[in-house]
Structure 1
Amino acid sequence: MKFDMIGDIHGCYDELLLLIRKLGYSMDTGIPIHTEGRRLAFVGDAMDRGPHSLHTLNLLFRMQDGGILIYSPGNHCNKLYRFVKGHKVQQTHGLETTVAEIHALPKEEQRRFLDRYRHFYEALPLYHILDDGNLVLAHAGIQENMIGAPTSEKTRVFVLYGDISGAQHPDGRPIRRDWAKHYTGKACIIYGHTPVREARFVNNTVNIDTGCVFGGTLTALRYPEMSVVSVPSNQPFIPEKFTHFE
């Protein structure tokens, strides 16, 4: 099976459609289909911050209904799920944009959307093991000893948030350790979560979050070719949102 894995979308729906078409998928049926049988896969965080979170999610809902969705949920997905469940969560770091879109819907449509999102999220695995174990899709990454093992709270936190240190940046974002620098596993790990200016290939891992919502690009990694396909963002460029590794 050949895959086209797409980085964090964050409501950049127009860029997503452009990238899907650039990858050779048709949207004639309302879901992306490739004539060569390739499959799309996503590293999560489809919503928040950008202008069209609901359009993006509705596309993913249709893909899930069609049995073709491969999606590793991220921390923003989890936060929206907790909001939908009625938990007390801070409407910050982009959640407020998605909530505003939801509240702009008529009341009955709001109810349907929230119910659909709950079912969407609850059906998702924490991460995906693909290509007979040679490929793993995990939102913020995963350590080798976590792959295929019973899911612990440590694994859940790592996959959703990365290797967090407990310290924070001035804007409240957690400081994350560079786990990929020390990865020695045989499975190729595809992840996002930490915006970088271009796809970052390190030790059989690839970070494909190229900060579309911060004015970078929306990136796909083609597998097994390991080639990168990107489209430019329509959003303002915010350089301080990108992480620079040594």
Structure 2
Amino acid sequence: MDRPVGIETDKEVVIIGDIHGCLIEFQEMVSKIHSRYGEDTIIVSVGDTVDRGDYNVETLEYCFELQKTGRFIEIQSNHNLKLYRWFKGRKVNISSGMKKTIDQIIQIPQKKQEELKEKYIRYYESLPLYLIINGSVVVAHAGIKDEMIGKVNRKIKDFVIFGETTGRYTEKGFPERLDWTKNRKVDKYSPIIVYGHVVFEKPYINNKAYGIDTGCVLGNMLTAYNPFRDEFLFVKAKKQYFSFD
């Protein structure tokens, strides 16, 4: 659904950073969350659950199962959008990270492929563009500016899924990103914004914005954040699954 979703809850809420097919660490994090906060904790994924890692199909299936509990919400993201477009038969540029996902998909029996395709299309079309929790926390894959919150248009969708760039590219061929948190003006009423997309060695906190993609798939760690308790949880990566070199 290309719109934001707002929820009101008195349950614990924990937001998990980019997973990228790191199923073992993902499952360990979910267990850690349940152990610390209880089984009825609402778990939110910032997206990018696929590509680059070793267990992309299994991670998708795990997300489907979690969603059925009613206590798991994933938001839209660039890698998952690309997979959705591929399943819909649209032309996409298949990067080395996405190739790992597609290679895994085409190795399963044809009937299972079709079932996965149908399930994933339904699943992705159910995901909110971004999530507003209790009016005080916003989860958006690549971030969101305050004037965008509660709204939706093409420009906002591009920002929250792909982030803000300079139009230039790095030496490795990736878009040069702008730090949208740098000039954010905040006060006591400003919402906490939690996002992924940009990889940091440790959580990046700036002007009530929390970047929690800590490169699990690159061999660092998976990070989760409870915004109402201001607590982090970490799971060390079992190995380096992917490299940009």
Q: TM-score, length-normalised on structure 2?
A: 0.89
2:52 corresponds to which letter in structure 1? R
Question: Is residue 137 of structure 1 aligned with residue 139 of structure 2?
Answer: yes
1:145 corresponds to which letter in structure 2? E
1:9 corresponds to which letter in structure 2? I
In structure 1, C-alpha distance between the alignment counterparts of 2:232 and 2:241, rounded to whole Å = 21
Aligned to 1:212: 216
1:172 is displaced (CA, Å) by 2.1
Alpha-carbon contact 2:49-2:60 (below 8 Å) kept: yes
Q: How does 1:84-233 map to 2 (within 5 A)?
A: 84-131=87-134, 133-149=135-151, 151-185=152-186, 186-233=190-237
Can you list the C-alpha shifts for 1:185-214, whole angstroms capped at 9, x where unaligned?
511100000010001111011000000000
Q: Which runs of 4+ in 1 moved over 3 A?
A: 237-241
Structure 1: segments with no counterpart, 5+ residues:
27-32, 242-246
Aligned to 2:83: 80
1:65 is displaced (CA, Å) by 2.7
**Residue of 54, 65, 74 corresponding to 1:71:** 74
Aligned to 2:5: none
Aligned to 1:29: none
Alpha-carbon contact 2:53-2:241 (below 8 Å) kept: no
1:11 corresponds to which letter in structure 2? G
Aligned to 2:19: 9
SS of residue in 1 equivalent to 2:84: helix
Aligned-residue CA RMSD (Å): 1.9
1:98 corresponds to which letter in structure 2? T
SS of residue in 1 equivalent to 2:73: coil
1:229 is displaced (CA, Å) by 0.9
Can you list the C-alpha shifts for 1:201-232, whole angstroms capped at 9, x where unaligned?
11011000000000110001013111111011
Question: Is residue 18 of structure 1 aligned with residue 20 of structure 2?
Answer: no
% identical aligned pairs: 35
Alpha-carbon contact 1:2-1:223 (below 8 Å) kept: no
SS of residue in 2 equivalent to 1:50: coil
In structure 2, C-alpha distance between the alignment counterparts of 1:79 and 1:119, rounded to whole Å = 15
In structure 2, C-alpha distance between the alignment counterparts of 1:153 and 1:223, rounded to whole Å = 28
1:14 corresponds to which letter in structure 2? I
Instruction: Count how many residue pairs are aligned between Structure 1 and Structure 2.
Output: 232
